[in-house]
Amino acid sequence: MLKNIVLFITMCLLSFCSKGQEIDTTFIYTYPNASWLTSYLSTSAVNMTTEDRTFEPNYPMKVGVGLGIRNTMINFLVGTKIVSLKDKTYGKTSSTDFQIHRYGRKFVTDIYFQRYKGFFAMDGRDINLFPEMKINQMGLEQTYLFNHTQFSLKAAFERSERQLQSAGSFLLGTNLYWHRLRDFEGAEGNLVQNLDNLQIGAQGGYVYSWVLDQHWLITAYTTIGFNIGNDLENFKKFHFKIYPTVLARTVASYTKDDWSFSYGMMINNKMNFFETKKDYTVTNITLQLSVTKQINFSFSKLGSG
């Protein structure tokens, strides 16, 4: 099992260094600009749903900027929290939410590290606070795009290219997840302590971009997978359970000349089980508004200056 995990991570790292592939230029346009700047407004949260309750954090709004440089590993977004979306009657949440989403020519690579403390749950009109409840999760996903010559992930989700004609592609990938739950209060008021879960599996799906006219592009991306896993002690003993997963991304973008405006949503839904056989679902939801501008910047210009 350890060898498989090491091989999985190695495959992900190699994809970062893969060279550009041939494309069908009647379907994909590559901007002549070497780089792009992005400004964005976003929210991201980790929710947990059981048979009788949904636990939500009082998550913040974020604002940030990003820089991408073509044919390099430099493509990042950084941001800061500006305000919680709900008032103090919904409690206080402290969080660390670190995500990397790399859209290459052939591969999508997603890396997550999320840590949330402080949740609330609605019981009718009553707000119940769980200030000590913690959810941590880490994830690594690698997904292969079959039709990489005619479909551009970069145009759909990064806006560093343009999709000229409608196209789609089948998807196939692997993933690795770890979840930790602390100080969770069940329906009877009992606390579930030290719940750790490790999963590894595969997913498949389809992505399609509709080119509505020369400016508008709408993309829908869905994968469904099945993982094997368990709490850490049972995982070491090779006692596994089956867990379903669903990932959906949608984005609508308006592009004109060398800038674009987009609204995107990503939902990552993973099921787990308590020792009592009851299931719960951890859902990661991210919403983002962004503006991207192509710019003429490269390291070669800096070197010649």
**What is the Cα–Cα distance from 295 to 239, expressed in whole angstroms?**
53
Question: Residue 105 has which token pair?
Answer: 């020519």
**What is the Cα–Cα distance from 179 to 47, expressed in whole angstroms?**
13
Predicted pLDDT of residue 189: 53
Torsion angle of C-alpha atoms 78, 100, 50, 278, degrees rounded to 10 = -150
- Mean pLDDT: which of 29-33, 129-133, 265-269 is highest? 265-269
Q: Report which of 205, 215, 167 is spatially closest to residue 23, judged by C-alpha positions.
A: 167
- The overall average pLDDT reported for the chain is 83
Confidence tier at 204 by pLDDT (50, 70, 90) = very high
* Three-point CA angle 213, 214, 220, nearest 5°: 60
Torsion angle of C-alpha atoms 80, 86, 92, 96, degrees rounded to 10 = -30
Across 17-42, average pLDDT: 79
**What is the Cα–Cα distance from 177 to 92, expressed in whole angstroms?**
27
Across 248-275, average pLDDT: 88
**What is the Cα–Cα distance from 78 to 65, expressed in whole angstroms?**
6
Predicted pLDDT of residue 297: 64
Predicted pLDDT of residue 281: 87
Least confident of 128-132, 162-166, 251-255, 299-303: 299-303
- Mean pLDDT: which of 5-19, 116-130, 139-153, 287-301 is highest? 139-153
